[in-house]
Amino acid sequence: MRRTLILLIAATLVLTACGSSTTTISKAEFEAAGKDWPFTADEAELACDPADGITATIDGVVYAVNGTAKATKKYKDALDVWVRTPSGGRVDFRDIINEGLALCQ
């Protein structure tokens, strides 16, 4: 039991020490790679923080991209900048989430 607790504390410290990673992504680059661009803006700063999840900053506003970020209630809902498909649905966020997760690795 004590060993498990020590391992959990160590893992938490490692994740906390990692901090967040960011990258600027553009619609043109994303679509050139055959991925679905889900935002109404042409560019976003994507960030991954192990504690806060994946976010996208667009025009100075930080939006929650995944459930972890949304659950923190620190960020705006991405519905405000989420592209609608011609059928009225929403563009899948899977590609953008995968890009964000890659930042945390």
pLDDT at residue number 1: 52
The domain ranges of the chain are 20-103
Residue pLDDT, tens place only, 11-20: 343 444 456 7
* Ranges of the chain whose pLDDT falls below 50: 3-17
Are the C-beta atoms of 52 and 20 separated by less than 8 Å?
yes
Model-level pTM? 0.78
State both tokens at 19. Answer: 């901090």
Are the C-beta atoms of 46 and 98 separated by less than 8 Å?
no
